Amino acid sequence: MIVCFHPEALKELSYAVAHYRKISKDLAYRLLLAVEHGRTQIVDFPAAWPPASGNTRRYILPGFPYQIV
């Protein structure tokens, strides 16, 4: 399975990383790790996450107010 991020999602991630970097470089790094872990989990277990709408599911990033749809 290939997981692609929408350009707007990448833009939002970039802004979020910049925001967290102002607070702490470690926090920004942890956000990127959480996104990568989520992507890996989605690839490994695509049906494990709660339905969002239609045929989409969402993975909620632990410790951050974001989700991967």
- Write out the DSSP string of 8-22: HHHHHHHHHHHHHHH
pLDDT in the model for residue 6: 93
Rounded CA separation 55/36 (Å): 22
Q: How buried is residue 63: exposed, middle or buried, by Cβ count under 10 Å (0-12/13-18/19+)?
A: exposed
Record the pTM: 0.88
pLDDT in tens, 3-57: 789 999 999 999 999 999 999 999 999 999 999 999 999 999 988 988 888 888 9
The pLDDT confidence band at residue 65, using thresholds 50, 70 and 90, is very high
